[in-house]
Amino acid sequence: MGMPRPRFLAPMITAVALTVSVAACGSGGTEASGQAGPGAPAEKIKLTVALFSDFHYAPLYEEFKKTHPNVEIVERRSQFNDHHTNLITQLATGAGAADVVAVEGGYIGAFTPSPEKFHNLKDYGLDKRQGEYLDWKWQLGVSNDGSSLMGLGTDVGGLAMCYRPDLFKKAGLPTDRDEVSALWPTWDQYVETGKKFVAADVAGAKFTDGPGEHFRAMVEQAPVGYYDDQYNIIAGTNPEVRKAYDMGIRMIEEGLSAKLAAFTPPWNTGIAKGTFATMVCPAWKTGTIKDQNPGEGAWDIAAVPGGGGNQGGTHLMLPKQGKHPKEAAELINLLTSKESQIKLFKEASALPSLPALYDDPAVKDFVNPYFGNAPIGKIFTDAAKALKPQKVGPKAGDILKAFGDGLQRVEQGKQNPEEAWAQALKDVGRIK
């Protein structure tokens, strides 16, 4: 699913290992017993699937086994950052990669320059699905040289803003989602709304969790982010990046921030207990909120400032270390099918990357009772349609972390805004 990056930029999910056998390491994560001869049972195959959270795939695995009774599927999960850095190491050493790996959008640019490390999905006929996809989502899964289809998209992270109606009521602000959306068509107006919340002095609550996710959302809403069309890093000279940084600083200086790094235990507690009133909310994050059990109706969903956008979203890829690419490609095909994407949207708020589904009543008309019957189908599909896709370079995640760390240093009183900006630029300058 669309889980983002380090610290406040990434879901730091508790590491989970699901029946990972020792044999999965160093062998591409596959096992075979015997060879199928004439009339013999199909070869026994083990496929490992490496994820960075619960993608709610278990029922889909059972569906796959109905047509592939000889295949055992073993899922292994690890924390978001560990998952991606482990994959980089596994590809470099030639050992340990799973048969199917999930790669989040902020990291996919680290792999698309190296098609030789992955099976080409064109070889298994999956290029026939190109017409089903959002064009920008499909292109993210294509190698930089255009030669290879390296991954099929799962979800996209259409952007919204989640908010707590109870805290808004205490602050004397509107609670109806349409009226809340009207408070902040721009990020400036979002900050001004936050200042009103601060002035109301709601006990035990800040206006938002922290500036990092807002910074990321603003940059990703811009036509150009950290890279230009030639994959040159332009983060230090792109005025959109500085504008987003300055907005984050305003949130800190105006007292809007609860100083919580997203996906940390205190942040999870804040979702449950209501220690902050708003947070940037890509579609998949509604699942994160529900996992903290704040209670039905505790959170609602409004439009995001700045007019739509996307945050996160994942592709499924096949490292060449896998010994059964045909079956693995067939599994990817099922996990990303129209039927599966509808099921995952309803189960895990994973917004489909197939635009035909945006007009399907099962998606378009879907309301979520846990969020006050919010029409999440319409909210998130509208956001995804409004997206202006950017070039995602190989070190986008590292660049994002450099600026996020800068904002954290300001929050923690370790540097003033200009010192933190200067250090962030130095850190970005070291990224090659």
pLDDT of residue 319: 98
- With residue 178 as reference, give the H or E element that holds it: helix 177-183
How far is the C-alpha of 357 from the C-alpha of 350, rounded, in Å? 12
From residue 267, alpha-carbon distances to 207, 263, 278, 407 in Å are 13, 6, 12, 17
How far is the C-alpha of 428 from the C-alpha of 432, rounded, in Å? 9
pLDDT of residue 230: 85
What is 7-156+312-364's CATH superfamily? Answer: Periplasmic binding protein-like II (3.40.190.10)
Structure tokens at 258: 């609860």
Spatial contact of 191 and 389, defined as CB atoms under 8 Å apart: no
pLDDT in single tens digits along all 432 residues of the chain: 654 433 333 333 333 333 332 233 333 444 443 344 444 567 899 999 999 988 999 999 999 999 999 999 999 999 888 899 999 999 999 999 999 999 998 889 899 999 999 999 999 999 999 999 988 899 999 998 999 999 999 999 889 999 999 999 999 999 999 999 999 999 999 999 999 999 999 999 999 999 999 999 999 899 899 999 888 999 999 999 999 999 999 999 999 999 998 888 999 999 999 999 999 999 889 988 998 999 999 999 999 999 878 888 899 999 999 999 999 999 999 999 999 999 999 888 899 999 999 989 989 899 999 999 999 888 888 887 777 677 778 888 889 989 999 999 999 999 999 999 999 999 999 987
How far is the C-alpha of 329 from the C-alpha of 270, rounded, in Å? 40
CATH for the 158-311+370-429 domain, from 3.90.420.10, 3.40.190.10, 3.90.650.10, 1.10.3720.10: 3.40.190.10
pLDDT of residue 41: 63
Q: Same CATH fold, 158-311+370-429 and 7-156+312-364?
A: yes
Query: 3-state DSSP: the chain helix, strand, coil percent, rounded to 5?
Result: 45, 15, 40
3-state secondary structure of 99: coil
Q: Identify the residue whose tokens are 């969790």.
A: 209
Q: Is the pTM value of this prediction over 0.85?
A: no
Structure tokens at 232: 């040159």
- Cβ neighbors of 176 (< 8 A, separation 6 or more) are none
pLDDT of residue 244: 98
Quickly list H helices, 254-375. 265-273, 285-291, 325-335, 338-348, 361-364
- Per-domain residue ranges of the chain: 7-156+312-364, 158-311+370-429
How far is the C-alpha of 405 from the C-alpha of 160, rounded, in Å? 24
Spatial contact of 55 and 345, defined as CB atoms under 8 Å apart: no
